[in-house]
Amino acid sequence: MERMLVVIFDNEKKAYEGAAALRELERDGGIAVYAGAVMVKNADGTTSVKQVDDLDPIGTLVGTSVGGVIGLLAGPVGMAIGAAAGLTLGAFADIADLRVGDDFVEDVAQSLTPNKVAVIAEIDEGWTAPVDARMEALGGVVSRRGLAEVRDERREAQIAAMKADLAQLKEELAKANTERKAKLQARVDYLQASIEQQQKKAQQRWDAFLARRKANRAAFQENAAAAGRALRELAKTPPV
């Protein structure tokens, strides 16, 4: 199951060990890690992203659930950019792909107190015990939430509002005098083109999400199958 995972540690050293442990679990075939980051809550209340591990080739977490969670945890003015090269506040401003409830983010925010460090990751896991055992052994406090399969609701709401404006403009156009018709027609054409562009972008984002999920699931299943084969072969190996 695809989940948002947040593990809170007392210091950066343990957090980095936790992030490394997730990758080790992935190599063992137990989970798949799609995107992740290490985020520090500074003493002054600001937040810093110290490490990014993202499948996106530009490595910015743009348009991912992880980026959305970070954006909400940081707040509009709370982001102090850390050591992760290339990151900007804008990378976390788009929370359209956030697929967990606000209550989950609020619970994490209450636990992420000053000087605490969070490992935030989007993962696929068959069961929770392996991750819990490794994180708790490092002193981490684990929170997770299943990811909802939803489209970009914010963009859809924006398109709906634009369509309402377009309908009103068309009504005005039908009643306008000759002098005003040209101006209204230009606005209608512009708004229609904008709607089509937004719809195209929305479809592209959704198609990209489905393709990424399909590829990630295939990789996860392949890893799990490989791990299963290795265990079966190990079981056949006679003791030395």
21-43 pLDDT, tens digit each: 999 998 888 888 888 889 999 99
The residue with greater pLDDT, 224 or 137, is 137
Q: Are 49 and 133 found together in one domain?
A: yes
Q: Band the pLDDT of 58: cuts 50, 70, 90.
A: very low
Query: Which residue spans within 106-183 are E strands per DSSP?
Result: 117-125, 141-146
Residue 133 has pLDDT above 80, yes or no: yes
Lowest mean pLDDT among 100-109, 205-214, 223-232: 223-232
For residue 240, is it within any domain? Answer: no
Domain residues for the domain of 23 are: 2-146
Which bin fits 8, alpha (ψ -120 to 50), beta or left (φ > 0)?
beta
Residues 230 and 133 in one domain: no
Q: Does a structural domain hold residue 190?
A: yes
Residue 48 in this model has a pLDDT that exceeds 90: no
**What is the predicted pLDDT for the residue at 94?**
45
For residues 104 and 173, give the distance between their C-alpha atoms in angstroms, rounded to a whole number: 47
Burial class (CB in 10 A: 0-12, 13-18, 19+), 200: exposed
Question: Among 131, 146, 161, which residue terminates a domain?
Answer: 146
Average pLDDT score, the chain? 76
* Angle separating helix axes 102-111 and 65-74, nearest 10 degrees: 60
Please tell me the least confidently modeled range out of 87-101, 135-149, 180-194, 197-211: 87-101
Residue 208: inside a domain = yes
For residue 174, give Cα distances in angstroms to 97, 182, 183: 39, 12, 13
Instruction: For residues 80 and 171, state if they share a domain.
Output: no
Instruction: Say how many residues make up the chain.
Output: 240
pLDDT tens digits for 216-226?
A: 666 656 665 66
Mean pLDDT computed over 9-28:
93
Helices vs. strands in the chain: H and E counts, helices first: 7, 5
What mean pLDDT is predicted for residues 102-125? Answer: 88
Side by side, the strands of the sheet bearing 117-125 are 47-54, 31-41, 117-125, 2-9, 141-146
Chosen domain end from 98, 120, 146: 146
pLDDT on residue 107: 86
Q: Is 76 helix (H, G, I), strand (E, B) or coil?
A: coil
Residue predicted with more confidence, 121 or 70: 121
Please check whether residues 10 and 70 belong to one and the same domain: yes
Check residue 237 and give its pLDDT: 54
In angstroms, the CA 88 to CA 198 distance is 24
